[in-house]
Amino acid sequence: MVRILLSTFLLTFFALTGAAQNPVKWSFEAKDAGKCRADLVLTGAIQDGWYTYSQFLESEDGPVATSITFDPGTHYKLLEKPVESGELIKVHDPVFMMTLSKFKHQAVFTQKIEVLDPSKPVTGYITYMVCNDEMCLPPREVPFSFSIPTLGGCKAGN
């Protein structure tokens, strides 16, 4: 009976420990890009041995691609698609058995916006999935809120 209780406890402990793992720490920064524009920079610091995936995956049969969702607002306009940088590699992924574009150590996504009212924050969330060479964690959503810096020559209600 003691063995069964100990086994149940250990299985529950390891399941909860795995669910609580978060190998990516996100930071968010808004930078003045001139001419009433800002760059919204989402940076993920990724623990060694873990990877997160590009927004632009070639197959829907693999991992969940990273996506950025902005809450609607009349105080800004999105310009173009987010640009990826950081340590992006294209390699064979042993978990999905296919070649994938993924980030190790650092993932950076930069979204250009036109600022119509800098007094209001730009909010939303980033959705991403992380894997190591043996397993994947479920996709996660992390909310963000960008406070727009003072922009040269821009005022509320442009």
Residue 139 identity: P
pLDDT, tens digit (0-9, with 9 covering 90-100), for 129-155: 999 999 999 999 999 999 998 777 666
- Taking only Cα atoms into account, the Rg of the chain, rounded to an integer number of angstroms, comes to 19
Report the phi/psi class of residue 33: left, alpha or beta, with left for phi > 0 and alpha for psi in -120 to 50: alpha
| Overall pTM > 0.85 | no
Question: Does 83 have pLDDT greater than 90?
Answer: yes
Question: Structural domains in the chain?
Answer: 25-146 (2.60.40.1250)
pLDDT, tens digit (0-9, with 9 covering 90-100), for 33-81: 999 999 999 999 999 999 999 999 888 889 999 999 999 999 999 999 9
Q: What pLDDT sits at residue 132?
A: 95
